[in-house]
Amino acid sequence: MKKQIIENLLQNTGIEIDGTNPWDIQVKNSGFYDRVLQDHSLGLGESYMDGWWECEELDEVFHKLLLVDIEQLVQEKFTKDKEFFLMGLKLLFRKLPHFILNFQRKSKAFEVGEEHYNIGNDLFSAMLDPEMNYTCGYWKDQDNLADAQAAKCKLICDKLNLQPNQRILDIGCGWGSFARYAAKNYGVEVVGVTISKEQKELADELNKGLPITIELKDYRDITEQYDHVVSIGMFEHVGYKNYKTYMEVAANALKDDGLFLLHTIGSNTTSHFTNDWVQKYIFPNGMLPSIAQIGKAVENHFVVEDLHNFGADYDKTLMAWHQQFNEAWGKLEGNYSNRFYRMWNYYLLSCAGSFRARYIQLWQWVLSKNGVINGYQSLR
């Protein structure tokens, strides 16, 4: 019965249970069906981590599922079918706290650093490009990860029109990859802010001799002003209850004639919570903003000068990370469990499939406080 329900939901996806295509799901434990129906995305991910199902091309599974908006199909099933109404109600109650509580409040700001970014610099060093960029590369005219990440950093610098001796704020600076690129190639000083002690320690080592300062602090503690502000892949941790506060902080940190570049993953639809599996295992308290949510947050703070979407490039970036992670696993596996290995592959490939389906996006917003005199010239 429950296998039949899953098969019916997959009917228009091109995915078959125990089929012969590389994107078909091979079920190893019959408890898989009940687990997915009970816990949806959490059950799907956890059952994969536990080896209850396999798939040769996991990225294509998510690509195909999201092309047909599988979440909407599941929601309709649980709404119309009385037998599964209570299961849907259980999942609804799981989401309710996100409407009531502020999971990204200041007291919880360092949780994602402790649970994700502090996993191990050996892991990230093996997976990422040599400069440790942990955000989407810009693959226009590029054919490898390192060049795509350098092109992304150059694009940001040029969009901000960086000039020698300017002072730049990098909110969510990671391991200082953008800061190093900007300091070396544009002669600027950079102050970076991170909530990960592991990122700060390695960044300080990599940045020796450069005019870069990395601070371990929450964005709400920023008080100084800068010529320009940049935030690359950090806004996904802010949370919808704090979007307005974040924009206030960025506006106060930006000089009147400066620019703020916001680089963030975004959702096609407005939501107030994230995928349960991602929330539990990858990015605690994370959340993807919509254009509507960002637009509302920038009101009375910024003029939107430019909005650039290159979400399809994240598919390539994630697949490159996946390849490097797997190539390095022989050296890493002594520090991580096999369940972690399956979890990390699931994370990288499910995200790649999501971008491939254009289910989620990558936006760069260029914002000014008062509007650029004679207009802003967009760069691509």
Assign 3-state DSSP to the chain and report helix, strand, coil percentages, each to 5: 50, 15, 35
Q: What element of type H or E holds 122? A: helix 121-127
153 labelled catalytic: no
- Residues composing the chain: 380
Catalytic, out of 55, 157, 173, 351: 351
Token pair of 177 as six digits: 């990859």
- For 98, 103, 285, 362, 374, the CA distances from 279, given in Å and listed in that order, are 12, 11, 6, 19, 44
CA dihedral 269, 273, 276, 281 (to 10 degrees): 110
- For 42, 88, 276, 347, the CA distances from 94, given in Å and listed in that order, are 12, 10, 9, 21
d(CA 4, CA 30) in angstroms, rounded, equals 12
- As annotated, the active-site residues are 351
